[in-house]
Amino acid sequence: MDCCCLSAVWYFTLLYLLVHCLCFIFADADLTLLWSSVTGHSPETKLRRLVVWVTGASSGIGEELAYQLAKCGSRLVLSARREDELNRVKRCCLERSNLKEEDILVLPLDLLQRTSHADKAKAAVQYFGHIDVLINNGGRSQRSLFEETSLDVYQALMELNVLGTISITKHVLPYMTQRGSGSIVTVSSIAGLVGAPLSTGYAASKHALQGFFNSLRIELTEYPNILISTVCPGPVQSQIVHNAFTEELNKPVNAPGLQEHKMATSRCVRLMLVGIANGVKEMWIAKQPFLFVYYAWQYVPTFALFLTSKLGRRRVENFRTGLDADATYFTKAKRS
């Protein structure tokens, strides 16, 4: 190869790396998901008329899922504990879409009442005939130090986030295997992949979900048309901090938490729907610098441990002094 040819190869390699670096700096999801959003199927074509069951549909990510799915023309089963809130979400869905009253079933459900789940799944199937997509979204987070937290809180987090989700899945999956198709999408978290101080129980519950669904996916390889997918969002605007568990079961969070540094709910949900429409098996959705942490944890774990212990220490110190631990992860502390 002559000198001119060699420098052209170097030039294009550098250009290629530069473009990728720039893409990464502005990315708000893993590159597979972003690639699907550019070149893949659109949710509007893939999810139209599908029957989608969303748990935790009364607020936050679940509520936004309902709105965007309604706009895509999906038929909906909306579940959470608060029936009045679900009816409000249903009304808003009807206002924002071409769906008709009978296209949305409000199905109140408590993830902790596992004995009711078989009947709830049956009711959804009897109403629509089948379920195409189950989105396991309902759940609660945690803001408390391990040393100060009652074991009851750990039990509650596991009962709700893990067993509640597994129970619904257990009752929906047989309908999907019978038809040979369907999608089970579970909203995990960045805390399902990465350690998260002040959220030891929450992170444990989300890690458990990752392990469960990664294993279930392999068990189901004889059903190539059943998608098992996990979604791992970073901080997203919602009621999650307000509703989080603290040291004691019924003790509320002091401050609801700042929202400005978090990803807009609408963007997170749009990316989730792109992932579902394109069969993405694990979705990382977060603004920078959080997205960098996912990649570091996956590809350079020693560096990631060094970085997260520095950031984690600041988070714990801020929490102890009453500052917003979430908003001050990367930025200078500000009194909330």
Ligand X SMILES: NC(=O)c1ccc[n+]([C@@H]2O[C@H](COP(=O)([O-])OP(=O)(O)OC[C@H]3O[C@@H](n4cnc5c(N)ncnc54)[C@H](OP(=O)(O)O)[C@@H]3O)[C@@H](O)[C@H]2O)c1
By CB under 6 A, tell whether 140 contacts ligand X: yes
CA distance 322 to 327: 12
What is the DSSP secondary structure assignment for residue 183, as one 8-state letter? Answer: E
**Catalytically annotated residue among 67, 154, 202, 329:** 202
State the nearest-atom distance from the C-beta of 105 to ligand X, in Å. Answer: 16
Q: Between helices 265-277 and 60-72, what is the axis angle to 10°?
A: 50
Residue of minimal CB distance from ligand X? 60
Binding segment (CB under 6 A) for ligand X, from list 9-17, 90-98, 134-142, 328-336: 134-142
Q: How far is CA 3 from CA 6, 8, 14, 17, 135, in A?
A: 5, 9, 17, 21, 56
Binding segment (CB under 6 A) for ligand X, from list 104-112, 124-132, 176-184, 295-303: 104-112
Please pick, from the candidates 240, 272, 296, 304, the single residue that binds ligand X as defined by CB under 6 A.
240
Query: In terms of CB distance, is 181 or 259 closer to ligand X?
Result: 259
By CB under 6 A, tell whether 139 contacts ligand X: yes
CB 287 within 8 A of CB 190: no
Binding segment (CB under 6 A) for ligand X, from list 32-40, 131-139, 215-223, 276-284: 131-139
Q: Residue 103: which of 55, 65, 58, 50 has the closest Cα?
A: 50
Query: In terms of CB distance, is 17 or 112 closer to ligand X?
Result: 112
Residue type, 64: E
By CB under 6 A, tell whether 137 contacts ligand X: yes
Consecutive H or E run containing 199: none
What torsion, rounded to 10 degrees, do the Cα atoms 143, 149, 151, 155 define?
A: -10
By CB under 6 A, tell whether 66 contacts ligand X: no
By CB under 6 A, tell whether 138 contacts ligand X: yes
Binding segment (CB under 6 A) for ligand X, from list 20-28, 52-60, 246-254, 272-280: 52-60
State the nearest-atom distance from the C-beta of 19 to ligand X, in Å. Answer: 29
Please pick, from the candidates 71, 85, 145, 336, the single residue that binds ligand X as defined by CB under 6 A.
85
Please pick, from the candidates 239, 259, 288, 336, the single residue that binds ligand X as defined by CB under 6 A.
239
What x/- string results for residues 159 through 198 when contact with ligand X is judged by CB under 6 A? Answer: -x--------------------------x-x---------
CA distance 188 to 137: 8
CA distance 90 to 102: 11
CB 230 within 8 A of CB 282: yes
3-class secondary-structure state, position 39: helix
Please pick, from the candidates 48, 49, 82, 313, the single residue that binds ligand X as defined by CB under 6 A.
82
Cβ neighbourhood burial of 77 (10 Å; 0-12, 13-18, 19+):
buried
Please pick, from the candidates 43, 233, 257, 275, the single residue that binds ligand X as defined by CB under 6 A.
233
State the nearest-atom distance from the C-beta of 109 to ligand X, in Å. Answer: 6
By CB under 6 A, tell whether 62 contacts ligand X: yes
* # chain residues binding ligand X, by CB under 6 A: 31
CB 83 within 8 A of CB 57: no
By CB under 6 A, tell whether 141 contacts ligand X: yes
295 catalytic? Reply is no
Q: What is the DSSP string of 269-324?
A: HHHHHHHHHTT-SEEEE--TTHHHHHHHHHH-HHHHHHHHHHHHHHHHHHHHTTS-
> Could you list the residues that contact ligand X (CB under 6 A)?
55-62, 80-82, 85, 109-112, 137-141, 160, 187, 189, 233, 235-236, 238-240, 243
Q: What amino acid positions are annotated as catalytic residues?
A: 202
